[in-house]
């Protein structure tokens, strides 16, 4: 079974669901996607180095073995959650903190 793939996709779906349920609409903002693109640039730089060397190894039993350069595609999906979920919660709690 491809556990890493399953968990990465599930985490991205949960992130989108949380954004919708909390009503933050972070994923609808252009700024978020620019921020994500910057993060992906650094991910390519650092994760690419770590997987090219190879310092970090992935067992092919756990992911699709589809790579962009040397980086498993699941790392980009996971990166979406890694960046998106904290921003969603930040926006939600910032909104809750404002006096009415």
- As a whole number of Å, the end-to-end CA separation of the chain is 50
Rg (CA), the chain: 16
> Rounded to two decimals, what is the model's pTM?
0.86
Q: What tokens appear for 52 in the block?
A: 């090219």
* DSSP line for 7-31: HHHHHHHHHHHHHHHHT--GGG-HH
Give whole-number Cα distances, 37 to 27, 48, 49, 97, in Å. 13, 15, 18, 29
- Per-residue pLDDT of 37-57, as tens digits, reads 999 999 999 999 999 998 999
Query: Mind listing the pLDDT tens digit of every residue in the chain (100 residues)?
Result: 799 999 999 999 999 999 999 999 999 999 999 999 999 999 999 999 999 998 999 988 999 999 999 999 999 999 999 999 999 999 999 988 777 6
């Amino acid at each position: 079974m491809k556990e890493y793939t399953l968990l990465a996709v599930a985490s991205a779906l949960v992130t989108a669901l949380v954004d919708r349920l909390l009503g933050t609409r972070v994923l609808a903002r252009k700024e978020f996607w620019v921020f994500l693109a910057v993060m992906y640039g650094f991910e390519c730089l650092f994760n690419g180095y770590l997987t090219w060397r190879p310092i970090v190894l992935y067992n092919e039993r756990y992911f699709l073995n589809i790579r962009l350069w040397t980086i498993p595609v699941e790392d980009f999906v996971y990166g979406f959650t890694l960046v998106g979920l904290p921003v969603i919660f930040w926006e939600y709690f910032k909104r809750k903190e404002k006096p009415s």
